[in-house]
Structure 1
């Protein structure tokens, strides 16, 4: 696991005591240099999300990861679930490819 990905995983694990957590670096799908850690997908199931709207769940994650969002993480695709929702679904949609082109590829 790379440094930023590891930090995100550690903070979310400590902050939410998840029953399921995936932190996936999707930077390679975007117009960034190789090895970047700027775009992530987070799949998080936590009892703390029970009875909360999606916007409240996302706000809690943004608060937990405020430092990362201010220092290089450009995008988070958030998929949040209560334990019951995760058990019923366990499916996360695939992320689309970036449509902005790749600045670092030869023309």
Structure 2
């Protein structure tokens, strides 16, 4: 089941990067009762994204690009966000 915040993350990333692959995984259930779990069921996410926009960029710059596209979501509305960002053809 897709949550409202998960849908918002998907929409923002689709608009910013036109990805060839996008997986937004809600990991919140596995962190229930841990630090950062606010009980909303929307506290921890993993993003796997592939986009030509990441070509020629290092891992850190790709993560920064994703964080910028998500605006206030990382750190304010989500406790933890794991990002795996790739360019087409990356191994």
Normalising by structure 2, report the TM-score. 0.86
Counterpart of 1:15 in structure 2 is: 16
- Secondary structure of the 1:18 match is coil
Counterpart of 1:27 in structure 2 is: 28
Pick from 30, 34, 41 the counterpart of residue 36 of structure 1.
41
Is 1:64 matched with 2:69?
yes
- Deviations along 1:4-40, whole A, 9 cap, x unmatched? 0000000001100000000000011112365510110
Count of aligned positions: 86
How many Å apart are 1:45 and its aligned residue? 0.3
- Secondary structure of the 2:14 match is helix
Normalising by structure 1, report the TM-score. 0.74
CA distance in 2, matches of 1:55, 1:75: 16
Runs (5+) with no aligned partner, structure 1: 89-107
CA distance in 1, matches of 2:85, 2:47: 8
Runs of 4+ in 1 over 3 A off after TM superposition: none
Pick from 76, 80, 84 the counterpart of residue 89 of structure 2.
84
Superposed CA RMSD in Å reads 1.4
Runs (5+) with no aligned partner, structure 2: none
